[in-house]
Amino acid sequence: MLLLVLSIGVVIASFLLSSYICYTLIKLGFGDSMPSTEQVILSAGFGPTVVVTMCYYLLLFSPFDSALAYVITVLTILSGLALWLFVRFRADFLTHALAPFSIWTTPDFELTPQIPFLNGFNLKWGGRHIDAFKVLVLFIFIYIVIYWLEFVANKPLTGHDVLEYALLANTFVDWLDIDYEVHIVNEQTGFYFLGLHGYGFPLLGFWEKAVNSVFEVRGDYFFRAATGYYSFLTVMMVYYFLKRQFNLKVAMVSLAMLFSSYAFYLMVREYHIDALRMFTLLGSWLLLFYAWKSQNRYTMWILGAALGICSFVHSINFMISCFVFLALVLFLEGTMSERLKKLAGCALTFILFGAIHYLLDLAIGSGWILKDFLGR
């Protein structure tokens, strides 16, 4: 049990480090043109995918033959980079990460009068007045967190697609290598990877299982938790963006409509790639929204990296990212050559952070969506 807790701790620590790296880079690129809350949400979501990208390149070149070596390498690079960024820029991640919660501790900010059915509802604690709506939301939040933790701890992975990804993660742990081949088959188990999509999600599982194998424990808790985690971040992203760009009413109604649909409920509750897929897609669009305003070289690099990561998760995201490039080419400011110059760095990071997978798969792998055309 202790080893399992340690293993989960290492996974969480690695994701915190990578989220900090993401936060600093976004902060440096966008400065105050993007609100801190959005920066924190994007960093928390894209953070784990930085680890995924590192694992991808390490497995592609496969310099080691033990999981321990991979884990130590990733942790060393992450710690080194995070430390260097902290010493150099001292971005205050924690204060901003906690900023969204500050309204709950600000006594003069009351939500109750804005909600009709709570009007006149009066709560007192130790002689002090407490905002009833804040208490209500806090209780709902705590309930959801407890329910989610209990759910993740007890509900095993089920469902065809998510198990395919989990089996691919196991295969990567077995092989400690990524080879582009026409048929990806783990002869030991008989598993054949049928998917056409990038390795973003399976490598999230690989990292957890690689850490587990170092501690000699079994489990896929983070892989399970990813669905709820990315669903939560997606909801937060939609809420804060709409509240900031429009108003509280638009944000609340949109969220209520999201949750009124059965498909969204399924997405939140069933372990699947969808939450990660949707978060990375919407996250890259959010970055596009802010990058459009600044249109400088750094924001374009960050945008390219986000689009690459988004593509690495799913083929549909890759195609949509290509549409983003098309729109950038057509509608960015300046002449065509100026636009292309601006986009060169963006295209490079796009390829490096995920699109490379599809290029390799087309060139030397299964042939991706052109497998029939290429006769593979």
Partner 1 sequence: MMSLPKNIRFLIGGAIAVVLIVYSLILFSTDESASMYLNERGIDSLPKLVLNGFLGQFFKYKYLGNLVWVAFPFLLIHLAKLKGKSSSIKAFTLIYVLSVLLIAVQGYYNTRYQLSLFPVTISFLVVALFDFLKERNIKPSATIIILGVGLMTVFNYTVFGVEKLLENPPEQTFKPKPVRLPKAPQINLGKRIGALADTLNNKLDRTWPLLIEHDGIEGDRRHIFYQIDSLPFEERILVNNQPLVLYYTNKPGVMYWCRKDLLSTQRGRYPLLESRDNLEVRNYLIDSLQCKYIFSTLHYNEYNPRFVEFLAEQCDTALQEGDYVLYEIR
Q: Pick from 217, 238, 340, 347: which binds partner 1 (CB under 8 A)? A: 238
User: Do the strands 191-192 and 128-130 form a parallel or antiparallel pair, or are they unpaired?
Assistant: unpaired
**Interface residues for partner 1 in 77-96 (CB under 8 A)?**
none
330 part of the interface to partner 1, by CB under 8 A: yes
Report the chain's C-alpha Rg in angstroms. 22
Q: Are 37 and 240 in contact (CB under 8 A)?
A: yes
183 part of the interface to partner 1, by CB under 8 A: yes
Applying CB under 8 A, which part among 46-54, 86-94, 278-286, 357-365 lies near partner 1? Answer: 278-286
Closer to partner 1 by CB, 2 or 263: give it.
263
Q: CB of residue 347 vs partner 1: minimum separation in angstroms?
A: 16
Which candidate, 282, 243, 269, 272, places its Cα nearest to that of 35? 243
CA distance 173 to 106: 48
Q: Pick from 40, 303, 324, 343: which binds partner 1 (CB under 8 A)? A: 324
Q: CB of residue 93 vs partner 1: minimum separation in angstroms?
A: 26
Closer to partner 1 by CB, 94 or 266: give it.
266
Applying CB under 8 A, which part among 70-78, 134-142, 143-151, 163-171 lies near partner 1? Answer: 163-171
Q: Pick from 285, 301, 350, 353: which binds partner 1 (CB under 8 A)? A: 285
267 part of the interface to partner 1, by CB under 8 A: yes
User: At a CB cut-off of 8 Å and minimum separation 6, what does 315 contact?
Assistant: 196, 197, 198, 358, 368, 369
Residue 84: half-sphere exposure toward Cβ, Cα within 13 Å? 8
CA distance 284 to 243: 19
How far is the CA of 340 from the CAs of 297, 311, 326, 356, in angstroms?
12, 21, 11, 20
122 part of the interface to partner 1, by CB under 8 A: no
Phi, psi of 367 (to 5 degrees): 95, 0
Closer to partner 1 by CB, 124 or 183: give it.
183
Question: Helix 221-245 and helix 248-260: axis angle, to 10°?
Answer: 140
The strand pairing partners of 92, in sequence order, are: none
**Which residues of this chain interact with partner 1, rule CB under 8 A?**
114-117, 156-158, 160, 163-164, 166-167, 170, 182-183, 185, 187-192, 194, 218, 234, 238, 241-242, 246, 249-250, 253-254, 256-264, 266-267, 272, 274, 277-278, 281-282, 285, 288-289, 292, 316, 319-320, 323-324, 326-328, 330-333
